[in-house]
Amino acid sequence: MKRNGTLNSEIAKTLADLGHTDTVVIGDCGLPIPIDVKKIDLALKLGTPSFIDVLTELVAEMVVEKITIATEIHTENAAMFAQIQSIVGCEIEYIEVSHEAFKEQLSTTKAVVRTGEATPYANCILHAGVNF
């Protein structure tokens, strides 16, 4: 058994396999996931685990170069955006696209981690950087 870090074997393997510019999505429980994209389903019940819990863990384990969010988060869930910034930081690039454009990008991601989050637009695409 691992001593610390991500214990979920699917998440740990996905993160270990990432290369520069590869992406991983963290999604709320309602985000539609394309059938041919790997889904790592953590949703236990509404709200569990939370988007923020999963984001915190993935950011601790992954080199994040930039993050994509839906522009609608600013008007529909501004508190969530503030939490994202507090975890990921303001020094990386934020890409903002419409929620429809966000969903179109899901087909090219390495995996979608589905949370139990049940608040609007609690989704992000993490773009892998390099540690050198």
Give the domains, in start order, of the chain with CATH numbers: 9-128 (3.40.1650.10)
Low-confidence ranges of the chain (pLDDT < 50): none
Q: Cβ neighbours of residue 90 under 8 Å, at least 6 residues apart?
A: none
Contact 56, 85 (CB under 8 A): no
Of all residues in the chain, what percent carry a pLDDT higher than 90?
95
What is the secondary structure of 88-129 as a DSSP string? H-SSSEEEEE-HHHHHHGGGG-SEEEE----STT--EEEEE-
The pLDDT value recorded for residue 57 is: 97
The residues with which 59 forms a beta bridge, in sequence order, are none
Ligand-binding annotation for 122, yes or no, is yes
The pLDDT value recorded for residue 35 is: 96
Tokens at 20, concatenated: 């520069």
Ligand-binding annotation for 99, yes or no, is yes
The pLDDT value recorded for residue 3 is: 81
The pLDDT value recorded for residue 2 is: 79
Quick check: is 74 catalytic? no
Q: Which of 9, 16, 20, 41 is catalytic?
A: 20
Ligand-binding annotation for 16, yes or no, is no
